[in-house]
Amino acid sequence: MSVAVVLLALSVAGCVALAFWAVYGFMREVPEADRHYQDPLPFGLRLLWPLVNAATYVLGPRLKPDKLEKAHRELQTAGQDFVLSPEQLYGLRVVAALLAAAFFWLLLAMLGKGGAMLYLLMLAFGAVLGWFYPTLWLSERRNRRRRQVIKDLPVYLDFITMAVEAGLNITGGIEQATQKGPSGPLAQEFARLLRDVRSGLPRAEALRRMSERMDMSQISSFTGTLIQADRVGASLGATLRAQAAQRREERFLRAEKLALEAPVKMMLPLVMFFFPLIFLVLAYFIYLRMKQEGIL
C-alpha cells in the first residue's frame, strides 16, 4: 500500500513538473513586446505584463477587425491608446478573468465550504468580474480625463485667443497654449494635433481626428467651429473668444449642478447609516427612562 502511495505521489509530482516545464517553454517562445514608443505601464499592470503578453500572443491573431476597432476606440477615449494596443487589452481581459476566477476558487477552498455547484458559480462569477474589470478601469480613466479637459479647456482657449489676436495663426496659437497652459490630457491632445500638422496632415483633418479621439461635445464644438471659420474666412479671434466664454459658462453650470446634486446624493448614506444610529441611541435612553418610571 505504501509503495502505491509513493508511486502515485511521484506520478503527481512528475505531472506538475512537466506542466511547469511546458509553461516555461511556452513563455520563452513568446516574443517580448516592443514598448519603445509607448507610455510606461501602471504598477499593477507591470506586475502582470508577462502573462498579458503571453495571452496577447495567443489571442491576438484570432481577434476580428471589428472587435479590435471597438477596443481601439475605448482606449482612445480613455487616453490609453499609447499604453495598450487593442490586442493587449483583450489579453489583459483574459488574464484578469483567470486571476479573478482563481482567487474566488482559492477563497472557497480556504473556507472549506460549499459543493461543486458553488465552486462552479464562483468560478463563473470571478471570470465575468475579471473580464469586465479592464472596462471599468478604462471607464474610470475616461471620466477623470473628461473632467480634467472640461476644467482646462477655457484656459487653453484664452491662450489661443490672445495668441491669435497678437498676430499668430491658429497653429502657432495652439503651440503657444501647449507651452504655457497647464499640463494634462488636453495638453497631450494639442501636442498630438501639432505633430499631425507638422507631419503634413491638413489642419482640418488633424482637428477632425482630435475630435474623434476625444469624443466630447465640447471638443467637437471647438474643432467644428475652427474648421468652419477657417473655411469661410471668419475672424478667429472673435470666434475663439465666444468659444471660451461658452465653455466657461458650461463649466460654471456644471459645478452648480454638482453642488445642487450633493444633498440628494447624501440622503441615501444618511438614511442607511446615520439615522439608524441616532434612533438606536435615542431608543436606548427612552428604554432606560421607561424602566425607571416603572412602565416596563
Higher per-residue confidence, 33 vs 90: 90
Q: Tell me what pLDDT residue 132 has.
A: 92
Higher per-residue confidence, 93 vs 15: 93
Q: What whole-number distance in Å separates Cα of residue 127 and Cα of residue 51?
A: 16
Res 24 pLDDT > 60: no
Tell me if 215 sits within 8 A of 77, measured CB to CB: yes
Please give the distance of CA 259 from its chain centroid, rounded to a whole number: 25
Q: What's the chain's average pLDDT? A: 82
Q: Tell me what pLDDT residue 290 has.
A: 83
CA 215, 216, 217 angle in degrees (round to 5)? 125
Q: Report the helix count and the strand count for the chain, using DSSP H and E.
A: 11, 0
Q: What whole-number distance in Å separates Cα of residue 155 and Cα of residue 252?
A: 14
- Reported as a single tens digit per residue, the pLDDT across 171-211 is 888 888 888 888 888 988 999 899 988 888 888 888 898 98
Res 4 pLDDT > 60: yes
Domain residue ranges of the chain, discontinuous segments joined by +: 149-253
Q: Which amino acid is it at 219?
A: I
- Reported as a single tens digit per residue, the pLDDT across 243-280 is 888 888 888 888 888 888 888 888 888 888 888 888 88
* pLDDT confidence bin for 30, thresholds 50/70/90: low
Q: What whole-number distance in Å separates Cα of residue 201 and Cα of residue 79?
A: 21
% of the chain exceeding 70 in pLDDT: 88
DSSP-derived 3-state class of residue 184 = coil
Q: What whole-number distance in Å separates Cα of residue 138 and Cα of residue 160?
A: 30
Among 146, 147, 159, which Cα is nearest to 244's? 159
Tell me if 250 sits within 8 A of 218, measured CB to CB: yes
Res 21 pLDDT > 70: no
Among 84, 124, 89, which Cα is nearest to 104's? 124
- Reported as a single tens digit per residue, the pLDDT across 93-111 is 999 999 999 888 888 888 7
* Residue 264 Cα distances to 9, 255, 257, 279, angstroms: 63, 15, 12, 21
- Does domain 149-253 fall under CATH 3.30.70? My reply is no
Res 35 pLDDT > 70: no
Q: What whole-number distance in Å separates Cα of residue 214 and Cα of residue 75?
A: 10
Rounded to two decimals, the pTM is 0.75
Res 158 pLDDT > 80: yes
Residues in the chain: 296
Q: Tell me what pLDDT residue 22 has.
A: 53
Give the sign of the dihedral formed by CA 234, CA 236, CA 237, CA 239: positive
Q: What whole-number distance in Å separates Cα of residue 170 and Cα of residue 164?
A: 6
Residue 36: all three cell numbers together: 519603445
- Reported as a single tens digit per residue, the pLDDT across 213-234 is 888 888 888 888 888 877 776 6
Residue 183: all three cell numbers together: 499640463
Q: What whole-number distance in Å separates Cα of residue 80 and Cα of residue 98?
A: 23
The residue to which cell 507638422 is assigned: 198
